[in-house]
Structure 1
């Protein structure tokens, strides 16, 4: 079977890298196309994933429209030559559009309810829209719900074993206790008008007062007085670091969720709640969502509460999560293969479009 996978964000690389490996091992022909976005290309190279870059980065909402148009046009040209059985993506705007033109199958994975621009552009054209079971929206007959989270495609213990050697790379000893703080740039299309901490320095002070070393990861430039806390490691090693931290404090949902599924308690500071962050909080107690106008004060309180709990608390909660949630890579591969078989059983050749 011929599969096209599109990558437009670093998180997409993590999500698809295991399915790519498994599809390839099963003898399928996999083509990966990407656009430059933060460290996405660096991750593709780090994981030795063969790919072609079709477009550069965007630095504003206006330029994003131009970049997206370029990306879709070039993706259409490549896919027309490949004649894939399935085109798949996270979000899936380009994938769904190109697949509909070529009359092939599109499988879209998504978990962000408030990204309404993406969903309006992609969902009407997609053959399958795969969402976590906790996704709050009903998007119709094309929706396929599964008991898991995007992050379990690459952080499930079947797929990931944290490497403690990462500690040395950031100047820590094995016995050091530390926290990871992740600050967002708030420049994504679905982040406009939102923000996290009033002053992240207060959270860092609170963590240091508890005896933790603080490692800061920031999108863009952090405030000048926080620069000494920034650390440098290869992007593919961040998950090793999250797994060994005592606590993760994040303005971004993905980093908070990655920590939570690894069993590291996460304080998520963001005005918006998502289906999966709410479930990780209500069902498993591994994430503490701080939204609303008082989110800054609530985050400081949540940090204190997390640090007062025992390590066994988080291990037990993660064990229950893994008992009730699936290895998402297996689900991704099953969806791609089943839709490819459906297309092979009832092909609509794209030869007239070439």
Structure 2
């Protein structure tokens, strides 16, 4: 555990994904009264929409990219971050993943505090680890970064979905046209464009999923990063991104390819069927320790996911989801407290 030190006055926070906005937002609000904070963002429409929705000021210093353009985009992103850091003179720089933050912080003499929960982001982890001062991970994280690694009993999602931080707004039902007692499933499809998703796979046939789930009597609401087949396009929900957690909290089930949204559902007490060839320490633990998430991998993941989903919706898979969530919350911490301790040098939570 890092030793306590005097609180830094200037913090630079780098946002590279919409989930990072949620992760940092409560900590930023608590710190901004006594610290000067600069938020820089690698632009994505959802990330900037979220920053706008929460009233944060920020500077866009890079664009998202994939494939052969990724290396050039990363170089430009780091160059612009270096320029911003030299002007701002931060005491501490922080990010999730954080290879750029680790490099730039070393160049400007700032302390780098990096958070990660994604073992298969191998290239990012390899570029980040030698330069970062502290690497904070959940206890269930499989990889070992040595003496600079700090493990804590929590998940990234508990920085914003811990009950001390989040209360679901049930008006979301009316917003998406649901009846007051209507059961629904959230189906999440990802774009597979992220560098750490290379070679991975998920759902084989979205139409088949919709048909099988709707046959149980529920309504299927789809959130997707790409285009949908025409026959299921009318199931896609159009809500503001910061309302997604309200939708997950009221669902009977989550089925999807995104690990973050699967974990969000699980910590909210909504059982999650995660359909992806990739798995992480937190998806393993949410399944093995709490039974709130079902990992569906391998060649038969599509069929396995549908079988599990049907057994949950029919009541054949009879678990007390709320009790499982209560146990999770009893054993895990509010991750915003972890972030605050890491960024102020307190190290306590």
Instruction: Please indicate the TM-score interval, normalised by the length of the shorter structure.
Output: over 0.9
- Partner residue in 1 for 2:215: 209
Whether the aligned pair in 2 keeps the contact of 1:86 and 1:339 (CA below 8 Å) is no
> Deviation of residue 173 (structure 1)?
2.0
- Partner residue in 1 for 2:329: 322
1:277-296 to structure 2, matched below 5 A, reads 277-296=283-302
CA distance in 2, matches of 1:72, 1:223: 38
Whether the aligned pair in 1 keeps the contact of 2:216 and 2:314 (CA below 8 Å) is no
Whether the aligned pair in 1 keeps the contact of 2:312 and 2:318 (CA below 8 Å) is no
Which structure 2 segments of 5+ residues have no match?
1-8
Is 1:2 aligned to 2:10, yes or no?
yes
Question: Alignment partner of 1:249: what SS?
Answer: strand
After superposition, the C-alpha distances for 1:300-319 in whole angstroms (9 at most, x for unaligned) are 11102222348871111000
> Deviation of residue 339 (structure 1)?
7.4
Question: Alignment partner of 1:292: what SS?
Answer: coil
Is 1:23 aligned to 2:31, yes or no?
yes
- Partner residue in 1 for 2:271: 265
Whether the aligned pair in 2 keeps the contact of 1:257 and 1:266 (CA below 8 Å) is yes
After superposition, the C-alpha distances for 1:60-90 in whole angstroms (9 at most, x for unaligned) are 3222222221111111111112211100000
> Deviation of residue 57 (structure 1)?
2.9
Cα gap change, 1:339 to 1:88, in 2 (>3 Å):
farther
After superposition, the C-alpha distances for 1:259-299 in whole angstroms (9 at most, x for unaligned) are 00000000000012210000000000000000011111110
- Partner residue in 2 for 1:343: none
CA distance in 2, matches of 1:197, 1:68: 30
2:20 maps to which of 12, 28, 39 = 12
2:204 maps to which of 193, 198, 204 = 198
> Deviation of residue 38 (structure 1)?
4.2
CA distance in 2, matches of 1:15, 1:176: 31
After superposition, the C-alpha distances for 1:153-187 in whole angstroms (9 at most, x for unaligned) are 01000110000011111111221111100011111
Q: With structure 2 as the length reference, what TM-score do the two structures score?
A: 0.94
- Partner residue in 1 for 2:6: none
Which structure 1 segments of 5+ residues have no match?
341-354
CA distance in 2, matches of 1:311, 1:13: 35
> Deviation of residue 56 (structure 1)?
2.4
- Partner residue in 1 for 2:173: 167
Question: Alignment partner of 1:39: what SS?
Answer: helix
1:54 maps to which of 53, 58, 61 = 61
Is 1:153 aligned to 2:138, yes or no?
no
Q: With structure 1 as the length reference, what TM-score do the two structures score?
A: 0.93
- Partner residue in 2 for 1:72: 78
Whether the aligned pair in 2 keeps the contact of 1:9 and 1:38 (CA below 8 Å) is no
Is 1:34 aligned to 2:45, yes or no?
no
CA distance in 2, matches of 1:312, 1:273: 23
After superposition, the C-alpha distances for 1:306-353 in whole angstroms (9 at most, x for unaligned) are 22348871111000000000000001010000079xxxxxxxxxxxxx
RMSD: 1.4
CA distance in 1, matches of 2:101, 2:312: 41
- Partner residue in 1 for 2:184: 178
CA distance in 2, matches of 1:281, 1:305: 16
1:60-139 to structure 2, matched below 5 A, reads 60-139=66-145
CA distance in 1, matches of 2:169, 2:218: 20
Question: Alignment partner of 1:125: what SS?
Answer: coil
Cα gap change, 1:10 to 1:311, in 2 (>3 Å):
farther
- Partner residue in 1 for 2:312: 306
